[in-house]
């Protein structure tokens, strides 16, 4: 149970990092900070959508379009961004075509890297603490 919670927290943090980096590098990708709660809700919804959409889209691609399997992460990121932007909660806007093309790539890349490196950072700290507490 604890491992599930830690993995979920890391996935939510990686989603937030991906969205923050996209906001930083893409002029048409806008986090609306005056509605910070909207951004938090966007991150949570985005993370849940990503975790549900990726396996579903992979299953559909495996069945109907196997050549798309390599791009499943980017496709599911695009769909999750589309849903989050269309929700009436505010917090995230994508205003131009270039950002619609590049945002899924940027968010997917940062999320993938963060999902890889965040556990190493957290686990390294926990392993060090465990070693120090041993007699």
pLDDT by residue (tens digit) across 90-105?
788 899 999 999 999 9
Q: What is the C-alpha separation between 92 and 88, in angstroms, rounded?
A: 10
Average pLDDT across the chain, whole number: 83
DSSP state of 28: T
Closest CA to 73 of 94, 101, 51: 51
| pLDDT tens readout for residues 13-26 | 999 999 999 999 99
CB 115 within 8 A of CB 10: yes
pTM of structure:
0.78
Domain locations in the chain?
Answer: 2-121
């Amino acid at each position: 149970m604890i491992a599930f919670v830690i993995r979920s927290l890391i996935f939510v943090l990686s989603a937030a990092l991906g969205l923050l980096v996209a906001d930083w590098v893409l002029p048409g990708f806008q986090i609306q900070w005056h509605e910070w709660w909207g951004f938090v809700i966007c991150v949570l919804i985005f993370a849940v959508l990503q975790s549900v959409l990726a396996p579903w889209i992979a299953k559909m691609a495996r069945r109907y379009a196997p050549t798309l399997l390599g791009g499943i992460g980017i496709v599911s990121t695009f769909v999750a961004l589309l849903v989050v932007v269309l929700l009436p909660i505010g917090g995230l806007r994508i205003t131009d075509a270039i950002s619609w093309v590049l945002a899924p790539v940027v968010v997917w890349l940062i999320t993938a890297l963060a999902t890889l490196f965040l556990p190493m950072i957290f686990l390294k700290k926990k392993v060090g603490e465990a070693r120090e507490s041993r007699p």
